[in-house]
Structure 1
Amino acid sequence: MRRVCLTLPTNRECADTIRAAGAEAAYGADRFGVEVHLLILDSSAAPVLAGHRTVVAALPPAPGVVVHHLDEDEQRTFLRRVIARSGVAGPGRMLDLMLPTGVSYGACTNRAFLIAEALGCDSVHRRDSDSRYQSLDGEPVHPLHPELTALGLRAAEAAGLVSRSRLDPAYKDRPVAMVGASFVGEMSVDVGEIRRLDPGVYEDVIGLSVPAGYPEIWRRNLIEESFRGAGTALFTGDRTTLTSVNPMRVDMCNIALDRGVYGRVPLPPATDTIGSDYFLIHLVHDAHLPGVLHNRHIVNYHTGERRSDEGFLAYQVRFAKFLLSTRYFNAVYARLAEAGEALLDPEGMVRASVVAGLVRDSTGLDQAEDAERLDALDRSYRKLGGRYATAADLLAGRRGRLLDETRADMTAFALLIDAWEPLIRAVRSEGLAIGH
């Protein structure tokens, strides 16, 4: 029986999302006859974790659904065993990259990738704790439907199962590597307040993420579209497109990846960096791997924690690191696009060594431009005043650390790519047991 992993990483209270994900897992198992492993990776504080355990225990049993709820101690135990069996150098460092003390959007998903491999799953389907499903006629709209319909099929086979195809016929024999959609509701990055306070400052700040040299009209379009997902469009019926998926059209809260992608290259393990987990979306696109874009968009919302003074300042650090990291990622994405077919081996699999080399090359970028970005952000935040001026003070005090950390994050990513094959081999060879 085909096994798939529906994963929900969380570090906050999300009882309703757990229940909704449980219902989606049951839907997938019933509708498609697959075995769905619902994997909840929980980094929440003890009281929240205990509440989640109660919620998980109360999930209605469903044929074909296996639930795994792992706290950080359980995840760490699993990782230590995998790392030891893999024989990679610097096991302590590798454990830190896989389970860092800071928030890492990529690392939590990398853990899901490894555990999915241990469970014998063919794909990973990711949801987020600060999102919920749309509904139609009183029923939830599950992204698992288009994901399980097409993922892993040869593109030529999938073409008959989608609404339309815009895929270059040259790629019809390649498997569908990714199925995804976006979100509706609040912006994925919490910058709406900046836009309300000063649209000009908003354009200046978001413009810091746009690759240098873009024509002005493209730059403005990117700024306008950034972090807005699918806007407010409500689901009324399925529209699915077989295509080379534009990375701007999908979000990591609503994504499914075939093991042929994440089994070769992990996500960046950067800490406290918004958007650092989108790398594989770009890789799939630039390597000309087929994908399916659908319209079962997830509803995004912002939790109350982000509105608190402490939460706001923590978020501003993550946003500043995002703005710094985009220069490195944009340089890598440009090189990925140039490489195109050279990213794949004769069997059509991603050449991890090529990707690692491009990531490593990016660390040679001059930090002077990064410093200028921090200067521009400082000016913008001081113009806004209030708590943004407080954030500017915080960022100024961490200036050197932010610059060094962002570059070090790329070095760490290249190191993890180098180690990924033996890590994957270790879980595949033994099928390490996962606690339930």
Structure 2
Amino acid sequence: MRRICLALPTNRPCDATISAVHEEAVYAAGHFDVEVHLLILDSSEESAAARHERVVRGLPATPGVVAHHVREAEQRDFLRRVIDRAGLDKPELMLELMLPAGVSYGACTNRAFLIAAALGCESVHRRDSDSRYQVADGIPVFPVQHELMSLGRRAAEAAGAVSETALDARHQDKTVSMVGGSFVGEMSVDIEEMYRIDPGLYYEVVGLWAPFHWSAERKREFADDSFRGAGSEAFTRDRSTLTLVDPMRVDMCNIAFHGVHEEVPLMPATDTIGSDYFLIHLVHDATLPGVLHNRNIVNYYTGERRTDPGFMAYQLRFAKFFLSMLYLNSVYAAMEHAGEALLDDRGRVRVAAIVELLRQSARLDDAENVQRLDALDRAYRGLGGRYARFAESLAGQRERLLDEARRDIEDFALLTETWSAMIRASRATDLHRLQRQPG
């Protein structure tokens, strides 16, 4: 029986989501020959974390489902032991990259990858705390159905489990490394209000994601396709395609990885949306087969994002995302150009090649990022109100943000270089040591 990790990182109250994801774990154990490790990685404040712990303790015992509620103290202890076992240089820096003080979408998922290895899981299936499942005929629509039908199988074998195949025959002996869907509901980035205030400025801002050399028309088309997922399409019947999955068609709230997550981590940048999307690009560009399905998850905004402090924090993460793209767009372009050459003769990622691309990008001139900040300043001042107030705040942080963007990609290269050692160490490290200590 294979083990899988169904992971839910959270830093907010999400009792209902924990129960819902547990239902998905029960579904997986009941319909497939798997042992499901439900992993709640909890960085919430104390009262919410205590409530989550009670929710997990109260989950009904189910054969084939093992629930783990892991607070930050236990995560930190586990990571220290992994880093020590791996014998890494700069252990305190490595611990900071894995468990930073700020919000990091990449780092929280990297912790799930390491803990999954410690639990003996061969795949990681990630969900988000600000999302929920669609319901069809009164039954939740669980993405794990498609994930377990195809993930980890040879593409030739997985072809029988999908609705259609759009994969060149030369890839049929490779392993399906990713299965993913998208989301419906609210945009994945909280910028709908910006569009309502001034569509022109909206397109200017969202276009900052694209490579600078693209034409205005191409950037506008790109903006139209950004952050909207599958729109409002309601689930009626299953559709799935075996293919090289377009990164724009999947979301990290609805994703599962096999193998590749143990070869390359995610970018550990703090306060930066999109820092967890690197593997989606790598799987596509390295010509690793994947499955795209339509069991889309429902995205919604928590109340905190509607507050003024929540707005300011989120817009900073949005701005840092644009600055990260100077470096990531360069790496993505290089990976796409390299294609299958990113894989060795066993179909595994050539990690050294990825490290080199990351380090090369870190040497780029940041003049484009200066222009991005100038464009954000103009646009946000033009939007007025709290957007103008954010522009004032951003103006005082320019040099720090430029430096952080470069350092983030350098840190990512360092973490990638040491990742295989951390995975090996994790496999030999007990997650639950703190829980078994006397007293």
Pick the TM interval, shorter chain: over 0.9
Match of 1:416 in 2: 415
Structure-2 separation of matches of 1:212 and 1:379: 17
SS at 2:375 equivalent: helix
Alignment of 1:78-93 (within 5 A): 78-93=78-93
Matched, 1:432 2:430: yes
The normalised TM-score by structure 2 is 0.98
- Is this contact kept in 2: 1:126–1:255, CA < 8 A? yes
Structure 1 stretch displaced more, 337-346 or 74-83: 337-346
Amino acid aligned to 1:201: L
- Is this contact kept in 2: 1:120–1:431, CA < 8 A? no
Match of 2:47 in 1: 47
Following superposition, the deviation at residue 214 of structure 1 comes to 2.2
SS at 1:113 equivalent: helix
Alignment of 1:3-402 (within 5 A): 3-258=3-258, 260-402=259-401
Following superposition, the deviation at residue 326 of structure 1 comes to 1.2
Structure-2 separation of matches of 1:219 and 1:314: 26
Following superposition, the deviation at residue 345 of structure 1 comes to 1.0
Structure-2 separation of matches of 1:138 and 1:375: 50
Q: Which stretches in structure 2 are left out of the alignment for 5+ residues? A: none
Following superposition, the deviation at residue 213 of structure 1 comes to 2.2
Deviations 1:103-145 (A, max 9, x none): 0000000000000001111100000000000001001000000
Structure-2 separation of matches of 1:427 and 1:296: 32
Structure-1 separation of matches of 2:247 and 2:35: 29
Following superposition, the deviation at residue 341 of structure 1 comes to 1.5
Amino acid aligned to 1:245: V
Structure-2 separation of matches of 1:369 and 1:207: 13
Following superposition, the deviation at residue 217 of structure 1 comes to 3.7
Deviations 1:3-25 (A, max 9, x none): 00000000001111000000000
Say if 1:188 and 1:265 are closer, same or farther in 2 by CA, change over 3 A. same
Deviations 1:278-313 (A, max 9, x none): 000000000000000000000000001011111111
Amino acid aligned to 2:411: A
Following superposition, the deviation at residue 431 of structure 1 comes to 4.4
- Is this contact kept in 1: 2:9–2:129, CA < 8 A? yes
Deviations 1:222-251 (A, max 9, x none): 110100000000000100000000000000
Say if 1:78 and 1:144 are closer, same or farther in 2 by CA, change over 3 A. same
Amino acid aligned to 1:209: W
Structure 1 stretch displaced more, 419-428 or 166-175: 419-428
Following superposition, the deviation at residue 173 of structure 1 comes to 0.3
Amino acid aligned to 1:84: D
Q: Which stretches in structure 1 are left out of the alignment for 5+ residues? A: none
Following superposition, the deviation at residue 358 of structure 1 comes to 0.3
Structure-1 separation of matches of 2:158 and 2:340: 22
Structure-1 separation of matches of 2:30 and 2:135: 19
SS at 1:66 equivalent: strand
The normalised TM-score by structure 1 is 0.98
Deviations 1:142-195 (A, max 9, x none): 000000000000000000110000001100000100000000000001011100
Following superposition, the deviation at residue 54 of structure 1 comes to 1.2
Deviations 1:52-111 (A, max 9, x none): 111111111111000000000000000000000000101001000000000000000000
SS at 2:37 equivalent: strand
- Is this contact kept in 1: 2:163–2:240, CA < 8 A? yes
- RMSD of aligned residue pairs (Cα, Å): 0.9
Structure-2 separation of matches of 1:366 and 1:3: 45
Following superposition, the deviation at residue 364 of structure 1 comes to 1.1
